[in-house]
A and B are shown apart, each in its own frame.
Chain A
Amino acid sequence: DAKTTQPTSMDCAEGRAANLPCNHSTISGNEYVYWYRQIHSQGPQYIIHGLKNNETNEMASLIITEDRKSSTLILPHATLRDTAVYYCIVRVGNSGYALNFGKGTSLLVTP
């Protein structure tokens, strides 16, 4: 799997957009970018994934650069409940293997 690099921590004011970056410069052509988050004392929650096109769902938007070497997860209107550790994981889409979790980004949403 391609290695990912994320900032250790970020702050965001409640109601503002949270933009979480991820670098994955060694990504292969058949690897997807997956985002998960883990709220304290819970299991990871799937957020969104994409291959090369930008994606949006009810939780977030995923922007992938044209060269696919980096991406940004956008929470359009962050709430206090979005405080969590966010993991960017690169993985072949239909792989049956486990996910490799790095250290992720600890996002703190403040009032």
Chain B
Amino acid sequence: KAGVTQTPRYLIKTRGQQVTLSCSPISGHRSVSWYQQTPGQGLQFLFEYFSETQRNKGNFPGRFSGRQFSNSRSEMNVSTLELGDSALYLCASSLGTTLSGANVLTFGAGSRLTVL
């Protein structure tokens, strides 16, 4: 089956602009999580959506937002971009239920954002 697909793979923006990243999860996966990866802070959890509802949220400012659609596809948006938002943004999907008893994540290849 197809993996987790993230678009775009690379993008360059300038300070003050906004950006929208897209994630298509594995078919049947209802949970989508977003992570930010930077050399300085490592992998940090942004938020998780399940059945179109935000279920968990990390410690990021309100400029970072997301949503999930009825087909489980998810988008995240960053407004008023800052230089420090330059990072690899990773999306991951999972079943998101207790059936498997564990939250094993399948990651996409990431969207690399550069803010100039």
Mutual binders A and B: no
